[in-house]
Structure 1
Amino acid sequence: MIVIISKKKEITTTEVIKWLFRFEKKFILIHEDETFEIKMKDTKIFLESEKNHFFLDEITSVWYRRGGIKFKRFYYDNEGVNIHMNETQHWLEEYVMHILESKKHLNKQSNTHVNKLLVLDKARKAGLDVPDYYLSNNTKNVKLRRTITKPIAGNPTLQSIAKDTDGVLYTAVVDEHIKNDFFISFFQEKIEKDFEIRTFYLDGKCWSFAIFSQNDEQTKVDFRKYNTEVPNRNVRYNLPKSIEEKIHLLMLSLDLNCGSLDFIKSGEKYFFLEVNPIGQFLGLSFFCNYSLEKEIATYL
């Protein structure tokens, strides 16, 4: 039995499930609105929600995509008993998650969020080229138009109060000095690119495609600022074996067996930018006919 942990209306999950149906494989899909109670039958642990129930020893593989498993907590009138039982339930939940993550898996709920700064340090240790970067709370030493800045944590979407739209923090070139100090921010050398590369990594194997974003003013700094009227050209690309081997070393050091990695090709060098364990790969699969949804279903 396969367990898939995801969110509702997550299209990538749906595409993989189509292949599981075709392979006639049994699976359980867990959504973010489910709450599971940990139960026992004889000496076997099983989880039960209003929608699903399963024994832990029935599970053969787990794919963590998005969301997460939530557990029901019991509360007691006696404060001392409640403190003790709350701690007991915490350790029991941790034990259950440990059992699930010890199964054959793609990604883990426990390490789905990676620290970008630590990833860059480990990328260098793995032998990958990384643009020079530093942290600062001012722009005094920033080389204008030769330095970029981007969020330290994820790719946040900020809700706008004045407008009925959301704002996304993209990578941006620093083109002016700011007089006042600000919260510690990430700065990095701006690399002049030939093109960008998105690589999908799965259990030691890489699939890549080149993104020709540099000729469009809207996408030349950050290709995620998609130009839907004149889309970037995307083609299959083979990274050198030496780079793929270093990617493998990096992913092992991060305890990740699946994810999307971004690179910049500049001259003879491949500059590593970041890795996203829950990266989007349907575009890569579609444009390059890689059938990555089938690859994931086959692995599971």
Structure 2
Amino acid sequence: MILIISENKENTTNEVIKYLLAMNKKFIRVHEDEIFEIQTDQKRLLLVSHRNKFYIDEISSVWYRNGGLNFRRLRYENESINLNMNEYQHWLEDYVRKTLESKRHINKESNSDVNKLLVLEQAKKAGLDVPDYFLADNTDEVELNKTIIKTIGGNPRAENIIKDSTGMMYTSVVKEPQRGHFFITFFQEKIEKDFEIRSFYLNGKVWSTAIFSQNDEQTKIDFRKYNHKKPNRNVPYQLPKDIEEKIHQLMLSLDLNCGSLDLIKSQHKFYFLEVNAIGQFLGHSIICNYSLEKEIANYL
């Protein structure tokens, strides 16, 4: 039995499930609004929600897409008992998560949020070129128009800026100094690019897409500022084998067996920018005819 942990109506998950259905494979999809109770039945651990019910020992493979496993904890009238029971229940929940992650899997809930600073350090250890970067709480030593500012987090969104909407925090160029001090911020050298590269990694194999974003003012700094009226040209791309091997070593060091990576091609160099363990890849899969959804289904 395949366990898929995903958000409601997440389209990439839907496309992978289409292949699983075609292959006549049994699966369970867990949504983010499900709350499980941990029960026992015939000396076996059983997870039960309003939608699903399964023994953890019948799960053969797990795909953590996003969301997570949520558990309902027992409550008692005595608060002292509640404090003790919460600790005990925590360890039982931890056991369930770790047992599922020990099975054949694509990604893990426990390390889905990677630390960009640690990732960049590991990327350099793996031999990848990384644009110079530093942390600062002021712009006194920032070289204007030659430095970009990014979030330390991987892919944050400002939730509820407008009702029922989210706001993406994009990469931007520092064009003027900022007075005074502010919270420690991530600054990075602005690389003049030939084009950007989005690579999808799965268990040692890499599929890459060249994104020609530099000729559009809207997308030249951050291609995620999509120009829907005049989209960037995207084409299949083959990274040099030594770069793919360095990516493989990086992912091993991060204990990630799947993820989307962003790089920049600048003259003869390939600069690594970041990795998103739960990154989007469906669009590039369709454009480049990679059938990554099928690759995931086959692995599961």
The amino acid of 2:178's aligned partner reads I
In 1, distance between residues paired with 2:93 and 2:4?
18
CA distance in 1, matches of 2:163, 2:241: 48
Q: What TM-score, normalized by structure 1, do the two folds share?
A: 0.97
Residue identity matched to 2:155: N
Please list, as runs of the form range in 1=range in 2, the aligned pairs for 1:234-249 lying within 5 A after superposition: 234-249=234-249
- What does residue 34 of structure 1 align with? 34
| Aligned position for 1:225 | 225
CA distance in 2, matches of 1:161, 1:286: 31
Once residues 87 and 160 of structure 1 are traced to their aligned partners in structure 2, the CA distance between those partners, rounded to angstroms, is 33
Q: Which residue of 1 aligns with 2:132?
A: 132
Q: Distance in 2 between matches of 1:133 and 1:155?
A: 18
Amino acid at match of 2:22: R
The 1:161–1:153 alpha-carbon spacing in structure 2 relative to 1, beyond 3 Å, is closer
**Which structure 1 segments of 5+ residues have no match?**
none
Q: Tell me the TM-score normalized by structure 2.
A: 0.97
> CA 1:162–1:260 in structure 2 vs 1: closer, same or farther (change >3 Å)?
closer
Partner deviation per Cα, 1:227-285 (whole Å, 9 max, x = no partner) = 11111000010000100000011001111000000000001100000000000001110
Partner of 1:138, secondary structure, is coil
1:158 Cα shift?
2.6
| 1:91 counterpart SS class | helix
Q: Which amino acid aligns with 1:87?
A: E
Q: Deviations over 1:193-220 (max 9, x none)?
A: 0000000000100000100001111111
Query: Do structure 1's residue 83 and structure 2's residue 76 form an aligned pair?
Result: no
Could you give the per-residue CA deviations for residues 42-78 of structure 1, whole angstroms, max 9, x where no partner exists? 2211111111111111100000001111111001122
The verdict on how the C-alpha distance between 1:83 and 1:135 changes in structure 2, with shifts beyond 3 A counting, is same
The residue aligned with 2:185 is 185
Equivalent residues of 2:3, 2:61 under 8 A apart: yes
1:163 shift after superposition:
9.1
Instruction: Name the residue aligned to 2:44.
Output: 44
**RMSD value, Cα:** 1.4
Please, which moves more after superposition, 195-204 or 69-78? 69-78
- State the 1:290 CA deviation: 0.2
Deviations 1:109-157 (CA, angstroms, capped at 9, x unpaired): 1111000111000000011000000000000001111100011113333
Aligned residue in 2 for 1:210: 210
CA distance in 2, matches of 1:160, 1:3: 31
Q: What corresponds to 1:64 in structure 2?
A: 64
Q: 1:258 to 1:159 in 2, by over 3 A?
A: closer
Give yes or no for contact 2:155–2:276 (8 Å, CA) kept in 1. no
The whole-number CA distance in structure 2 between the counterparts of 1:161 and 1:124 is 36
